[in-house]
Amino acid sequence: MTASAGGAARKSSGGARRSAARLAAVQALYQIDHSGASPDIVVEEFLRFRLGDSFDTENDVAPQKALFTEIVRGTSGRISAIDETISTALSNKWTFDRLEFILRAVLRAGIYELEAARTPARVVISEYVDVAHAFYDGQEPGMVNGILDRVARRVRGEEFGAEE
């Protein structure tokens, strides 16, 4: 499964590389969830075969490998807590088990980054809505936006100030 980072060409080269890392991390998390493979094996496979030196940087943006690795390993290491956060943030009409694998991966990575608190919350939300758009044309990007916004206001409310 591959998708391109749609808005990456319009971003600075560093921003585009971070966006590409997030997209690759979501793909790796999807693979881990779908196949049951070890996160370490999947990270190594991505670094060696998909993000290695043979990466086609003429047509694509080379992902930031360190950010990719941090997101995949960090998310995998906190998967139970992150899944509980997702379940809590879902509306009463949805259960965690109803989420497609790729939607779970997008939400998991986004929540990991929100909880890691290095990138501004609004940037994290925007980035993962963009990732969702790489995979979905329907309502899913809006769902990602709503869930990540809800979580961000809870875990990083100070960034939203008096807007609440």
Q: What is the CATH number of the domain that holds 147?
A: 1.10.940.10
pLDDT digits (tens, 9 = 90+) for 34-65: 999 999 999 999 998 877 654 444 445 677 89
Q: Is the separation of the CB atoms in 59 and 14 below 8 Å?
A: no
Residue 101 is part of which domain span? 11-156
Confidence at residue 163, expressed as pLDDT on a 0 to 100 scale: 52
Residue 162 lies inside a defined structural domain of this protein: no
Confidence at residue 1, expressed as pLDDT on a 0 to 100 scale: 44
Q: Which stretches in the chain have pLDDT values below 50?
A: 1-9, 54-59, 164
Q: In the chain, how many domains are there? A: 1
Residue 33 lies inside a defined structural domain of this protein: yes
